Amino acid sequence: MSQVIVGTGSLRYELVEGWEQLPEGWVHRDVAGVANDSEGNVYLFCRGDRPVIVYSREGKLLDTWGQGDFTMRTHGMFMDHDSLLLVDDGAGSVGRYGLKGGLQSRFGPVGEKSDTGYDGKDSATITHAGPPFNRPTNASVAPAGDLYVSDGYGNSRIHHYSSDGELLGSWGEPGEGPGQFHIPHSVWVHTDGRVFVADRHNDRIQIFTPAGEYITEWTDVQRPQDIFIQDGLVYVAELGWIKGLVSHRRGPILEEEPGRLSIFDLEGNLLSRWSDGDPTRPGYFIAPHGISVDDEGSIYLAEVTYTIGVSRGRAPADAHTFQKFARI
C-alpha cells in the first residue's frame, strides 16, 4: 500500500489508511459529523443503524449508541467538553447528549417546521426568514457557554441561545448580501467571540460579532460544509460543484470542481489546500461534510458519500466515507 501525502508547506499530512476498525458486516454509507473528546477518542455521527460510533485515537471500536433516537438525516455534531451537541435536520432537533449517550437537554422546538416559504426540497423557494427551526444543520458553543445554531436547509437564519436554552436572538434572511444566506450549513464560534458561518450556496464564509453584526466574508471557498478552528488555524470542508449547477454568488458552474479541504489563518489567508479530479482516490474527497482536529493536529474528515456520490452514480458503493490524516 503506497503512502499518500497531501497538503503543502508546513501543513502536510499522511493519510492513515485502514485506521477505522469497523467490525465485519458494519457499514456507514454516510458519515455526517465527527468530533474528538479530551482523551483523543473519535465520535462519528452516521446515517444508519448505529448513529453514533466511538473509536479510540488508534481506530479501535469503543462504543456505539443512539439507535432509534435519530432519523436518517443526522447532520451536525459539536463537542462541548463532556457532552455532544447533535443536530438532526430530518427531525428538526438540536439536542445535548452525554458522551455515552442519553439526551440531557434540547434547544428550541422539535419537529415544528417554521414558515419560510420552503417547499421541502429546494432552498431557492425560501422567501423569508423564520423562527427556529426548519431543517437545522449544525450548532456551536461560544466560550461563555451560549449556543449558536445554523438553520439551514429550510431557513436562512442563525439562532443564538443562552446555555440554559433561552432564545436570545436570530439573524439572517435569504439572499446574497451581507448577513443573508443560502443554506447556512454550519457555524463555529471562535474563542475571540467571532461567529463563522459556512454560507454554502453563496460560496463564502461570513463572520459576525456575537450579536450577529456583520464583520467580513471570505470568498476563497467553494460550497463550505463545515468549519473547525484550533491553534490559529481554520479548517474548512468544501463540497464539490457539479457542472451545470448554479452558485448563488458565482452563477452557473461551467466545469467540475471536486471537493477539497482548505486551511486558512484567522485572517482568511490560505495556507494549504488539496483536492483531486478523481475524488474517489484515497486521501481526496467525494462529499466532505464534517471535520474535526485532535490535540495532535490530526484531521478527521467525514463524508456523505452515499447521498452525494453513490446514489447519483458518481462513486462506487465501497468508496470511502471517513478518513484520518496525521500531520507530519
The answer to whether the pTM exceeds 0.85 is yes
What is the average pLDDT value for the chain, to the nearest integer? 96
The pLDDT of residue 136: 98
pLDDT digits (tens, 9 = 90+) for 201-237: 999 999 999 999 999 999 999 999 999 999 999 999 9
* Closest of 130, 136, 84 to residue 111, by C-alpha: 136
pLDDT digits (tens, 9 = 90+) for 95-120: 999 999 999 999 999 998 999 999 99
Grid cell digits, residue 102: 442519553
- What average pLDDT does the segment 32-44 reach? 97
Domains of the chain, with CATH numbers?
5-327 (2.120.10.30)
pLDDT digits (tens, 9 = 90+) for 173-185: 999 999 999 999 9
Percent of the chain with pLDDT over 90: 98
276-279 contact pairs (CB < 8 A, 24+): 279/240, 279/309, 279/315
Q: In whole angstroms, give the CA distance from residue 266 to residue 190.
A: 10
* Closest of 82, 80, 63, 70 to residue 46, by C-alpha: 70
Is a pLDDT exceeding 90 seen at residue 2? Answer: no
CA torsion through residues 107, 109, 111, 114, sign: negative
Grid cell digits, residue 274: 488539496
pLDDT band at residue 1 under the 50/70/90 scheme: low
The pLDDT of residue 324: 98
